[in-house]
């Protein structure tokens, strides 16, 4: 091991057995932790706790919220299944299967449109990449809760109906 460029004697210090086990530093760290614990027990009014669901956090106007699919006048999704949103998604959480649309004016539509909300990073790139303004993150809904991971995988019907309570 070379110590070039270091002052003479640097790196040569031998730690005693007592110093090498770092016992005193561990005790010092535990002292800090116990001190914070005792302070929090006796000063609970200073703790930054919200009484959810009675108190709700106020988010800025820039907060996006959960996804929604826009609809045409006939109620069908505006999406043309171009796969641009799933291609640009950094988390790879959007899955689209396309099918031929019965209306000859519309080339194709999403037969299935699935988003895994647990993988999504809510970056908004899908919204920016969409050429027909079919997907938006403007619901302002941040309360998503479920009792299993499968319920966080939302489908086309869920995104079109834009449910406001929970994921299902």
Q: Look at residue 43 and tell me whether its pLDDT is greater than 80.
A: yes
Q: Provide the residue ranges of all domains of the chain, joining segments of one domain with +.
A: 68-161
Query: pTM of the prediction?
Result: 0.67
Question: CB–CB of 95/110 below 8 Å?
Answer: no
Model confidence at 45, pLDDT cuts 50, 70, 90, reads: confident
Average pLDDT over residues 104-131: 92
pLDDT of residue 153: 94
Q: What angle do CA 72, 74, 76 make, to 5 degrees?
A: 60
E strands, 23-166, in order? 68-69, 94-100, 108-116, 135-136, 153-154
Least confident of 15-24, 67-76, 78-87, 114-123: 15-24
Domain spanning 68-161, CATH architecture: 2-Layer Sandwich (3.30)
The CA-atom distances, in angstroms, between 105 and each of 24, 99, 108, 156 are: 76, 14, 9, 22
Least confident of 6-10, 76-80, 104-108: 6-10
Q: Look at residue 117 and tell me whether its pLDDT is greater than 90.
A: yes
pLDDT of residue 30: 96
Average pLDDT over residues 144-166: 84
Question: CB–CB of 68/139 below 8 Å?
Answer: yes
Question: CB–CB of 94/126 below 8 Å?
Answer: yes
Q: What is the pLDDT of residues 60-87, one digit of tens each?
A: 888 888 999 999 998 889 999 999 999 9
Region at 53 (left for phi over 0; alpha for psi -120 to 50; beta for the rest): alpha
Dihedral (C-alpha) 75, 79, 85, 91: value to the nearest 10 degrees? Answer: 40
């Amino acid at each position: 091991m070379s110590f070039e460029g270091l002052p003479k004697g640097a790196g040569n210090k031998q730690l005693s057995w007592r110093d090498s086990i770092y016992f005193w530093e561990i005790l010092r760290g535990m002292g800090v932790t116990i001190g914070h614990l005792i302070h929090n027990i006796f000063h609970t009014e200073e703790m930054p706790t919200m009484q959810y669901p009675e108190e709700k956090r106020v988010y800025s106007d820039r907060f996006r919220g959960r996804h929604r699919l826009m609809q045409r006048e006939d109620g069908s999704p505006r999406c043309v299944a171009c796969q641009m949103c799933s291609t640009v998604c950094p988390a790879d959480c959007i899955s689209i299967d396309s099918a031929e649309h019965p209306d000859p004016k519309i080339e194709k539509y999403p037969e299935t449109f699935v988003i895994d909300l647990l993988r999504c990073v809510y970056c908004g790139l899908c919204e920016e990449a969409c050429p027909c303004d079919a997907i938006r993150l403007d619901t302002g809904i941040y309360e998503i809760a479920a009792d299993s991971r499968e319920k966080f995988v939302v489908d086309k019907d869920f995104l079109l109906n834009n449910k406001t309570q929970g994921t299902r």
